[in-house]
Amino acid sequence: MKTCYIFGAAPTPEVSWIHVAPDEEDAVICADGGYQLARRAGIKPDWLVGDFDSNRETVDFDQVIRVKPEKDDTDIYLAVSHGRKLGYTRFVIYGALGGRFDHSIANVQMLKGMIKEGIQITLLDAQNEVTAMMDTSIEIPKSDFRYFSLFSLTEVCEGVTIKGGAYPLTDYTLTSDFPLGVSNEVAEEKAAVSVKKGILLVIRSKDAHPNEKSSI
């Protein structure tokens, strides 16, 4: 499935974990200061989008969409909107977590709004993979991400079932005011997660290496 990769400006001290090899049908969009992150990761963008309040450098690039600093949308949201205009429904975003907490929350809220419209977004940093699911089921394979957590982005998520996890659930109702779904683990080769009604935030995470600085 063709993918739009977006780079944001959240602090990212280490970039060796970023592995992006876009196909011809994929696109790379940098949201404002995300241009520096993409450049450090050795990725050439197709588009630059934003008010460039966090990117003071002169960008020698033709496909630039400039917006006024006084706006309702974040630069990452604008980048996703542009990607949608280009026909993309699947997005992977780097540099969207860490740094200012309000921006991290804004990006999580964006997941909720976009999944309602059939847009699948994954936020990635060195320790976390964050996405949303609505009225569906997914599989979570055993991987370097030791933990997986589920949080209700709607007031309640009904019919939540976890199979193959260290802490299974069957047809459970998760609420948005109690973190019952935090820090589960894949107990078998893979875990299966399903929700009958509602929007779940799905976070796969791992502990920071003791000799590495966290990106969050």
Domain boundaries, the chain: 4-126, 133-205
Q: Which residue has the higher pLDDT, 185 or 71?
A: 185
Structure token pair of residue 36: 């520096």
Protein fold of 133-205: Jelly Rolls (2.60.120)
DSSP codes joined into one string, 13-73: S--TT------TT-EEEEETTHHHHHHHTT---SEEEE--SS--S----S-EEE--SS-SS
Short-list 216, 215, 208, 210, CA closest to 14: 215
Q: How far apart are CA 206 and CA 127, in angstroms?
A: 5
Q: What's residue 66's pLDDT?
A: 80
| Among the four given CATH numbers 3.40.228.10, 3.40.50.10240, 1.10.1380.10, 3.30.70.360, the one describing domain 4-126 | 3.40.50.10240
Q: What's residue 213's pLDDT?
A: 42
pLDDT tens digits, one per residue of 190-204:
999 999 999 999 999
